[in-house]
Structure 1
Amino acid sequence: MPGQSATEYGLLYAAFLPMPWLVHSKGHVFVEFLRKALPMRARAVLEKLVYLACIGVSLYLGSVALFSLTSAVAGGEYETRSFDMPKWLVFLPIMLAFYLSALEWLRYLLGRDTLYTLDPLEMEGL
């Protein structure tokens, strides 16, 4: 059924392409209980470590997707289900999403904005 494959590809694009915007707009789910239990200086260190970990994971997964994309292009591979589609089109949104998300995490790491909600005491330091 051509519709089923198109729906699967549409879901892939719909899941990955908004990912950088979710990081930018703080639209994803996270838990703050450990951060809130720490003193303010330790909170800042933990935040930076979280940002670095997110950058590392995003760059790694983006690189895996880029490798898969370039391999598919070099091999002329096609995704053959109900209709033929170049396989690199499957990896393109994944690569873009992870690399652009890494840039958003870098913005948090180097900028003044924070991913977390700030307590009034923390806001005095800004």
Structure 2
Amino acid sequence: MINTVYKALLYGMAGISGLTLVWIMVSVITSVVMRNLGLQPFAWLFTSAEYGLLYMTMLGAPWLVREKGHVHIELLTAALPEQPRRLLSRSVATACVLVCAILAWKGVELVMINLQRGDFDTRAYYYPRWLLTIAFPLSFGMMAIEFSRFIFGEDLMHSGEAGIHE
């Protein structure tokens, strides 16, 4: 049950990330067309694209970790024998979990500060700041979970094959 809910959240966040990319494209094209027609683009178009960049990046990142879609270099791991490669890969995944856990914790602190202060982002409209910063603990926490799969699971983060494999 928990696994099903977690997967639904993970893939739902990735879907929202993809839709956000489409929205950013639409908002940029709309702004450019409006400018070329001599019109002033709506202020919220630019602001929503900025917010979209944050949400798209943060919400899509845990799925990218699961799919090994993040950038990493296999030059060293391709040169190592099986056992040292496994050890190095699991060590790198451990470091990733630690960094993500720290960033998730700091994200929780930031959200709590935003809630306590009642902070708002006030560029094009009043937008509660915690709605922006909530993406940090959620995404970094889920990335920590996804990286931990490479520590404790059979699948390694590094394939040991240098070059592009698609």
Could you tell me which of 69, 85, 91 is aligned with 1:43? Answer: 85
- For each residue in 1:44-99, what CA deviation from the matched residue of structure 2 results, as whole angstroms up to 9, or x when unmatched? 11011101100011111111111111100011111111100111011111221110
Secondary structure of the structure 1 residue equivalent to 2:71: coil
CA distance in 1, matches of 2:133, 2:64: 20
Could you tell me which of 120, 124, 142 is aligned with 1:78? Answer: 120
CA distance in 2, matches of 1:44, 1:112: 10
User: Which residue does 2:30 correspond to in 1?
Assistant: none
Identity of aligned residues (%): 34
Q: Which range moved further: 88-97 or 49-58?
A: 88-97
User: Which residue does 2:69 correspond to in 1?
Assistant: 27
Q: What number of residue pairs does the alignment pair up?
A: 119
TM-score by length of 1: 0.88
TM-score by length of 2: 0.68
User: Given residue 101 of structure 1, which amino acid in structure 2 is its aligned partner?
Assistant: M
- For each residue in 1:25-50, what CA deviation from the matched residue of structure 2 results, as whole angstroms up to 9, or x when unmatched? 11122111111222222111101110
Matches within 5 A, 1:1-126: 1-117=43-159
Specify which structure has the bigger relative contact order, considering alpha-carbon pairs within 8 angstroms and separated by 6 or more residues: 1
CA distance in 2, matches of 1:39, 1:25: 24
Structure 1 unaligned spans of 5+: 120-126
Which stretches of structure 1, 4 residues or more, deviate above 4 A after TM superposition? none
Q: Cα RMSD between the aligned structures?
A: 1.3
